[in-house]
Amino acid sequence: MTAPVFVVDGFGTDGTGRYVLDGPEGRHAVSVKRLRAGEGVVLTDGAGRWAEGEVDATEGKDRLIVRLGEVVEEPEESPRLTVVQALPKGDRGELAVETMTEVGVDAIVPWSAARCVTQWKGERGLKSLAKWRATAREAGKQSRRVRFPAVADAMTSKGVVSLLAEASFAAVLHESGTEPLATAELPTSGDIVLVVGPEGGVSPEELALFEAAGAGAYRLGRSVLRTSTAGTAAAALLLGRTGRWS
């Protein structure tokens, strides 16, 4: 899929098979991408439904008229990969979301770990969550995905425990791990949940909670990665090993 992707709420046409893309997405298509008649596009709802189309015409600076093809639905991937990402400092959270979206992560869970310098509270927390979700949407478009990762509400360690207990395979990236993630036995279906700690690391109490819920401690490699890059590196490893990249 090489055509640019635009997000829509629905796929209703004018009765002649033509779809009008307007608003911010239409403006991006016309004024930024400068699409012209005859060029291809992909429209998606970001939840797996999508359709190929061909530009029929442009109107003004923000209206793209598209001849829309059949709407199809992309099935969910299996096994499904969820990354529990501890809250990084500054804008590194958006970097983590962006790159994890690009490699193919299915869900991202912001985690308020005990050693997180950043804590999402009140209005600030809502704005940060909105930034993560907007980043996932834009990165999904850029990487030509039609099923964007869901970004959950921020969870406490107790909420993470529930996720780990229901997973087919659960792992915590931790220096105490004796087994490399590269050799772990992975399921062919179900849910894989990966926990990435904060800059200060996963606390002993949190690690004990997670191990009691069925998660193992694994190491990724010899070098120490930042929290904002560890999830992407581990996700790429897991997606390659499960065959989802084949």
The CATH number covering residue 69 comes to: 2.40.240.20
Same domain, 65 and 144: no
Same domain, 48 and 122: no
Predicted local confidence at residue 74, as pLDDT? 95
Question: Positive or negative, the Cα torsion across 102, 108, 113, 118?
Answer: positive
Q: In which domain, by residue range, is 63 found?
A: 5-73
| Last residue of one domain, picked from the residues 32, 47, 73 | 73
Same domain, 69 and 10: yes
Same domain, 92 and 199: yes
| Last residue of one domain, picked from the residues 42, 73, 104 | 73
Same domain, 47 and 89: no
**What are 231's two structure tokens?**
């999830």
Q: Which amino acid is at 152?
A: A
Same domain, 163 and 52: no
Same domain, 39 and 90: no
Same domain, 128 and 105: yes
Number of residues that this document lists for the chain: 246
Same domain, 62 and 140: no
Tokens 């490399």 belong to which residue? 180
Same domain, 56 and 10: yes
Tokens 């190929």 belong to which residue? 52
Query: Does residue 79 have a cis bond before it (omega within 30 degrees)?
Result: yes
How many independent structural domains does the chain possess? 2
If one counts every other C-beta atom within 10 angstroms of the C-beta of residue 73, the result is 12
> Mind listing the pLDDT tens digit of every residue in the chain (246 residues)?
579 999 999 898 777 789 999 999 999 999 999 999 999 999 999 999 999 999 999 999 999 999 999 999 999 999 999 999 999 998 999 999 999 999 999 999 999 999 999 899 899 899 999 999 999 999 999 999 999 999 999 999 999 999 999 999 999 999 888 899 999 999 999 999 999 999 989 999 999 999 999 999 999 988 889 999 999 999 999 999 999 998
Q: What is the pTM of this model?
A: 0.93
Same domain, 167 and 203: yes
Asked if residues 37 and 18 have their Cβ atoms less than 8 Å apart, the reply is no
Q: What is the CATH number of the domain that holds 98?
A: 3.40.1280.10
Predicted local confidence at residue 1, as pLDDT? 52
| Last residue of one domain, picked from the residues 30, 57, 73 | 73
**Strand-pair category, 179-180 with 216-219:** parallel
Give the full edge-to-edge strand order of the sheet including 80-86: 150-151, 107-111, 80-86, 191-196, 169-173, 216-219, 179-180
Same domain, 42 and 89: no
